[in-house]
């Protein structure tokens, strides 16, 4: 939505006297966000009734965000996005995802409305919450990786609970190859660009991503194995870690040559039943 459409389409926008300067579009009146918050949270209404009652307010909020993306986080806070029921949040997400392709706006939505819920997740994610995330997968997958998946993956030093790990595994299957590649690249780079100690939960998620065989450069494959080598002493008895190493060998066998000795050095330190199978996979990769 352009600035010129705001006054014509949404009568509840504030008067020009409330603008920060003459060139900026007007802010929304607090009555608009207050009413929208109430209707989004009205779980007594049917889905159709909720959508109808929220239509004008949603259009006003989305248009204001499109005109001034820097306002997005504040407007979402005013609407109470972080506290909405899953049904209300899904309706809000659908309008934001369908109305624009602004990475800045989408990132603000994810940070304010979705990520806090996932950081506190202690039970399997409700269907509506999962669907809310999926509204951004098609249009802004890279943003979703950077603003949602990686912050969750690094949360609590990577010690994710089962619902969080399962959700990340489900999301990985829905992401395009380029976004999966970005997950691996950012994981290798490490939190705040500092590679650190891997947790079993992180290993499990990354293994599920690698099973989908995203494209990796030889450089990234070598860096992944170098970090595996740095973590093998801590995780050598972990079946999840052994699965990760085996998946790397199996999924990237044609690229393994320059990294073969490093892969073998890591595998030799494993203390699970998969050690022999993985060593055999390395030998087969080198012969092929």
DSSP assignment of 40-64: HT-TTS-HHHHHHHHHHHHHHHHHH
Angstrom distance (rounded) from CA 73 to CA 71: 6
Tokens of 247: 């998946």
Residues paired with residue 28 on neighbouring β-strands, in sequence order: 13
Angstrom distance (rounded) from CA 11 to CA 28: 10
Asked if 282 contacts 249 with a C-beta cutoff of 8 angstroms, the reply is yes
Angstrom distance (rounded) from CA 203 to CA 245: 10
pLDDT value of position 91:
93
Angstrom distance (rounded) from CA 50 to CA 44: 9
Angstrom distance (rounded) from CA 214 to CA 142: 14
CA atoms within 13 Å, Cβ hemisphere of 61: 33
Q: What SS3 class is residue 24?
A: coil
CA atoms within 13 Å, Cβ hemisphere of 180: 21
Asked if 184 contacts 206 with a C-beta cutoff of 8 angstroms, the reply is yes
End-to-end CA separation in angstroms for the chain: 56
- Residue 36: closest CA among 64, 10, 55, 11: 55
Cα distances (angstroms) measured from residue 92 to each of 33, 61, 195: 12, 10, 36
Asked if 120 contacts 154 with a C-beta cutoff of 8 angstroms, the reply is no
pLDDT value of position 147:
96
Asked if 241 contacts 235 with a C-beta cutoff of 8 angstroms, the reply is yes
pLDDT value of position 194:
83
Angstrom distance (rounded) from CA 178 to CA 183: 9
pLDDT value of position 14:
35
**Which residues contact residue 118 at a Cβ distance below 8 angstroms, ignoring those fewer than 6 apart?**
125, 148, 152, 164, 167
pLDDT along the chain (288 residues), means of 10: 37 34 59 92 91 92 89 91 92 82 86 94 93 90 95 92 95 96 95 87 96 95 96 97 97 94 97 96 89
């Amino acid at each position: 939505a352009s600035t010129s459409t705001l006054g014509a389409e949404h009568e509840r926008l504030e008067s020009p006297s409330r603008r920060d300067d003459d060139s900026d579009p007007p802010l929304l009146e607090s009555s608009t966000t207050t009413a929208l918050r109430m209707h989004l949270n009205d779980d007594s209404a049917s889905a159709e009734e909720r959508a109808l009652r929220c239509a004008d307010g949603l259009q006003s909020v989305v248009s204001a965000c499109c005109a001034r993306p820097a306002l997005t986080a504040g407007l979402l806070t005013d609407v109470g996005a972080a506290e909405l029921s899953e049904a209300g949040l899904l309706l809000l997400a659908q309008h934001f995802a369908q109305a624009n392709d602004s990475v800045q706006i989408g990132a603000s939505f994810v940070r304010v409305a979705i990520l806090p819920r996932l950081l506190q997740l202690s039970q399997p994610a409700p269907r509506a919450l999962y669907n809310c995330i999926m509204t951004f997968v098609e249009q802004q997958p890279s943003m979703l990786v950077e603003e949602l998946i990686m912050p969750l993956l690094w949360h609590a030093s990577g010690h994710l609970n089962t619902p969080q790990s399962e959700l990340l595994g489900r999301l990985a299957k829905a992401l395009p190859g380029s976004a999966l590649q970005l997950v691996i690249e950012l994981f290798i780079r490490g939190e705040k660009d500092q590679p650190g100690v891997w947790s079993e939960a992180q290993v499990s998620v990354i293994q599920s991503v690698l099973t989908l065989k995203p494209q990796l450069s030889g450089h990234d494959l070598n860096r992944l194995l170098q970090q595996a080598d740095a973590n093998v002493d801590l995780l050598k008895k972990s079946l999840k870690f052994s699965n990760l190493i085996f998946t790397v060998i199996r999924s990237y066998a044609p690229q393994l040559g320059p990294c073969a000795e490093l892969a073998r050095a890591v595998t030799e330190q494993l203390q699970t039943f998969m050690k022999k199978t993985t060593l055999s996979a390395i030998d087969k990769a080198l012969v092929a």
